[in-house]
Amino acid sequence: MRMESVLFLSGILILVCIPELPSRNMLWLFPACLCLLSSRWYLRWPAWVLAGLLYAHWRALGILSVALDPAVEGSTVTVQGRVASLPERKGDVTRFSFRLDAMENEGLPPGALVRLRWYLDAPQIVPGERWRLRVRLKRPVGFMNPGSFDYEAWLFQHRIRATGYVVGDARNGRVDVAHPWRPDVWRFHLRERIHAALPEGRFRALIVALALGDQSAILPAEWDLLNRTGTNHLLAISGLHISLVAVAAMFGAAWLWPRLGRAALVIPAPWVGAAVGFVAATLYCALAGFSIPTQRSMIMILTGLGATVFRPAGLARTLALALLAVLLFDPFSVLAPGFWLSFLAVAWIGWGMHGRLGAGSPWDRWGRVQGAVSLGLVPVLAFWFQQVSIAGVIANLVAIPWVSFVTVPLVLIGSLLLWFAEPLGAAALQLADGTLAWLWPFLELVGGHAFAMLKTGPISPAAVIAAGVGAALLLLPPGMPGRWLGWLWMLPLFVPASAAPPPGTLRVTLLDVGQGLAAVIRTSRHTLLYDTGPAFGPDFNAGEAVIVPWLRQAGVRSLDVLVQSHGDRDHIGGLASVREAVPVERILTGVPDRVRGEGVSACRAGQKWTWDGYAIEMLHPREGDRLEGNNASCVLRITNLRNAVLLTGDIEREAEELLVRRFGSEMRATILIVPHHGSSTSSTPEFVASVQPGYAAHPAGYRNRYGFPKPDIMSRYQQHGAINLDTGRYGALEFVLDDARVRFSAHRVSARRFWHTRLL
């Protein structure tokens, strides 16, 4: 079964790596595949791979068959349905999932799940309530950039088939109240009770996360510390906590059952313990709303209980059964890093502790467990995130037992008592808040040092495999020959794959940051960032979500120059996050009064420098120009003997006229980052005729409310021979220029998977 589970997983991985789903007719191979599963190994093993592929294909077809009609996008329609999640309120925005009962124009079938935002004066929304709402929907679309979080994959995995917002309308109204016995209603009211019990609790958001799995109120600074110390897995309803609850209930029931009389003669105590453990795990998962990670944990626990109690099996066989069960329940669990970390953590514990559980004190064994998990997961963490928490080895030694055996029991006891003895429940939750207050200074001490996080840069798959072999060697029992070779096998992790352009090459990347602008210019030895994209709220901006992950996957550890063209929110929103994440040697800006710090100066026409054969010059604004706002944007030109790139910020007609008078045809460019996102207030005929770009790249969000880029502007560029591209439809745009040619790629095309919405 071990090999079969791995082969079934391999088939699923093959499917999720392809850009388009195969024909539905391929499913007719399934009966033949089932027949081959009982054949000889050389037929059975390929049959298991094919079975995984076909099963995932069938499930994917079922999900994608529910699709929003593109004709409905942008229209205000009436929908009716039930609130299907805990509402998340941040600032003046309330977010929630909504299960449709009916929709005007039949843009989506009944039962479809959509994700909605309600701005400003949203009323209190309770899960399970039925509402009639006026909404505007769009297909599942997210940012498409190398290194960024794949939001469309997340929507696909959660079966969310459209996103949108509620339009202010008098016809919006509650149709029916929620049934009081629905689990999600209990979760909502428990969250309200916890808020009331901890009105001044510093760690109230973390208490809610431990009780309900709702992490929406955790502050960015708290997440940053948890990530730096590798303890982010603790402050939620995690597989570890569910397992501890299940094990405690199992052993408690198995101990108590024989002491109740003759019942143990009828039903064996291990059976009762396993049943009680699974019920306890199920109830705890219900507190988390049966989220996808807790569903996976519950299946793994059920498989483990069944395999060890009813038919004892080794760890490898039990893990293989759990893997197969999880994949059958949801083959697209493989899209989440948590899936891999869960199974790999258990596998590394088994490898690192095999034959040694009886040796040493409990603390010795606990230290070995942490060492095995920390060392074993280093390769995959470095591959996915280009960084590894070194402080996590120390922090988890203390944090895991403290949170698991002190904080979590107090949270569960307090949550239960809130329903029956509210003062006692509030007291227990206040104690839980106090335990986190005692733990937090330790985490700040451990995570506050420069060594807390090791940044590795981009890692090749071969380096990950080599490091995995190295970790396996290092975790062999003491005295085994060749253990020291493990350190040599680990070395490729610290030799990042080179992602810099070769000498003589210029790489221009216009990132997909929605309705905003961020572009990266790279030569073989230097990097320039032009603008930092929008801020979408107090806790989310393009710098943290797009630019920093892109820089990390590209192996960029510092910026030589950052140009902040002007101060509009859609251009400057990510600045603070970028400056906090990477060192910046020099900043040139059109708004020096808003960008403070060492190395900051105003951008002025005439500023020049040369990088690796490319001349870089600031064309605008000049000293004395009486321009402000968009027209005072920094305009930058990069040239060599053959090509030129022009970045224009948000300049409009007045600034364009000045540039045409001053430079005329000298502004000709191979690539133009189009002014003001393709607005009708920019790209005048004279300016377009002077620049005559080969590529007109429009930084604009998909279905943005301004309608950028405007069709007449795109037509104007096309008439002058330019190829129009926009980030909303194409994702990140990358241009590679050298003396021979210009190469172009669009991330939505090159990195496409079958769950990505087709916009081209």
* Residue of 659, 597, 607, 608 whose CA lies nearest to 632: 659
Burial 42-63 (b: 16+ CB within 10 A, else e): eeebebbbbbbbbbbbebbeee
DSSP category for residue 514: S
Compute how many other C-beta atoms are within 10 angstroms of the C-beta atom of residue 71. Answer: 9
* Residue of 329, 315, 242 whose CA lies nearest to 281: 242
DSSP H or E run through 564: strand 559-564
Burial 311-344 (b: 16+ CB within 10 A, else e): eebebeebbbbbbbbbbeebbbbbbbebbebbbb
Which residues fall within 8 angstroms of residue 350, CB to CB, at 6 or more apart? 315, 316, 319
* Residue of 350, 343, 292 whose CA lies nearest to 321: 343
Same fold, 70-178 and 506-750: no
| Alpha-carbon distance values, 227 to 221, 395, 445, 580, 656 (Å) | 10, 11, 14, 15, 46
Q: What's the rounded Cα separation, in Å, for the pair 576 and 246?
A: 44
Q: What's the rounded Cα separation, in Å, for the pair 612 and 614?
A: 6
Structure tokens at 704: 């943005």
CATH number of 506-750: 3.60.15.10
Residue 34 pLDDT:
75
Question: Which tens digits make up the pLDDT trace of 140-162?
Answer: 999 999 999 999 999 999 999 99
Residue 57 pLDDT:
96
Decide the pairing of beta strands 733-737 and 506-510.
antiparallel
Residue 294 pLDDT:
83
Instruction: Decide which of 3.10.20.30, 3.30.70.20, 2.40.50.140, 1.10.287.130 is the CATH code for 70-178.
Output: 2.40.50.140
Which residues fall within 8 angstroms of residue 398, CB to CB, at 6 or more apart? 439, 442
Residue 363 pLDDT:
61
Beta-bridged to residue 141, according to DSSP, are: none
pTM reported for the whole predicted model:
0.92
Q: What's the rounded Cα separation, in Å, for the pair 609 and 618?
A: 9
Task: Give the residue ranges of the chain where pLDDT is below 70.
Answer: 1, 38-39, 41-42, 263, 265, 307-313, 354-364, 366, 498
Residue 529 pLDDT:
98
Domain ranges of the chain: 2-64, 70-178, 186-455, 461-494, 506-750
Residue 284 pLDDT:
85
Structure tokens at 733: 């745009």
